[in-house]
Amino acid sequence: MDVVQKQTYAQPVGYFRRLTAIDWLYAAAWLIGAVYALRRFGHHMDVYEEAILLLAVPTFTWLGWHWKSVRWLTALMAVLSLFAISLYDGTLVAAEQRFFLKYLFSSQSAILWMSMLFILSTVFYWGGLIARSPTGASIGSRLCWAAVLMGFVGMLVRWYESYLIGPDIGHIPVSNLYEVFILFCLVTALFYLYYEQEYATRQLGPFVLLVIAAAVAFLLWYMVSRDAGEIQPLVPALQSWWMKIHVPANFIGYGTFALAAMVAIAYLLKAKGIFVDRLPALEVLDDIMYKAIAVGFAFFTIATILGALWAAEAWGGYWSWDPKETWALIVWLNYAAWLHMRLIKGLRGQVAAWWAIVGLLVTTFAFLGVNMFLSGLHSYGEL
């Protein structure tokens, strides 16, 4: 007689059933925080800002569920930002009178701390790579996290400071080169830290932090030479809710394109036998480069569409072949071609790496070169 054995198969567990009590507490904290922000600062918000705030709850809840490190980062951001805001007592004068504001948590102090921590992180990452020291890389990673924390605290406090100047002056701090360079540093670092944990390697830190350190150097020069740290009223062209979503989406693209280019440099060095035993496998480098460009291209596409809608509202047309728009299209076509060649033609190896580096040069000109050498409807962002 055949013995029929019953086989039991493990049923896949649903996404929400995998969540723990801590996951749900984290989600509840975001919801409570959003309600508090609406009650405390809602009179400064229009309907679009309220919608953005409410959409941030599921977005960052999902991000914290997927990437656990975001939990303590957002918690510390909230605690330190609210602590700093409480010290102002409704007046900007407090920034020069109260110790914690003057030396730590006013927007300019926090951003200077961010800058110093990014530079120190770069030094420790390179020290760890050259000396084959896991300790150096570990310190570099922690310093990078600390820089991201201070940078976001600085941006949030700067947002509040703009309203202390005047309700009609207050705006999200992504309106000029000083502010968007901070955003670029934070986005690039945050994406790098995600890949660092995802691939369990800190060996790319020296390369990615180089481009962040270069951005910090420019930021400090710009702040000193142009007094760019001062909060200014928005020019009329930027007095739109479109800015709040167009600019961050744009800089997710810029940051991930920069990250991909620095990974491409590491790829080429390893392919040439330099640091060959200290860097991840070529396949890993290639995969990170591809994922970074794919993410960047998606957000840059969204930013371009949002920019066209904003242009239609502000200037009466979706596209005007303004130099900034033209170079944005060139950047988009460059990465569209890169992804097409990879997905359709199987582009890999050193050609793909060199192309990613050239892509960063094109992106840099679109970001900075247009402001420096060309003029147009976007001239409010000139150096």
Q: In whole angstroms, what is the distance from residue 37 CA to residue 53 CA?
A: 8
Give the pLDDT of residue 374. 67
Q: What are the b/e assignments for 255-292, b being 16+ CB within 10 Å?
A: bbbbbbbbbbbbbbbbeeeeeeeebbebebbbebbbbb
pLDDT tens for each residue of the chain, 383 residues long: 444 444 445 555 677 888 999 999 999 999 999 998 898 888 877 788 788 888 999 999 999 999 999 999 999 999 999 999 999 998 999 999 999 999 999 999 999 999 999 999 999 999 999 999 999 999 999 999 999 999 999 999 999 999 999 888 888 899 889 999 999 999 999 999 999 999 999 999 999 999 999 999 999 999 988 888 889 888 877 888 888 899 999 999 999 999 999 999 999 999 999 998 899 999 999 999 999 999 999 999 999 999 999 888 877 888 888 888 899 999 999 999 999 999 998 989 999 999 999 999 999 999 888 877 766 556 555 56
In residues, how long is the chain?
383
State how far Cα 136 lies from the chain centre: 24
End-to-end Cα spacing for the chain: 87
Contacts of residue 378, defined as CB under 8 A and 6 or more positions apart, other chains included, come to 322, 323, 324, 325, 370, 371
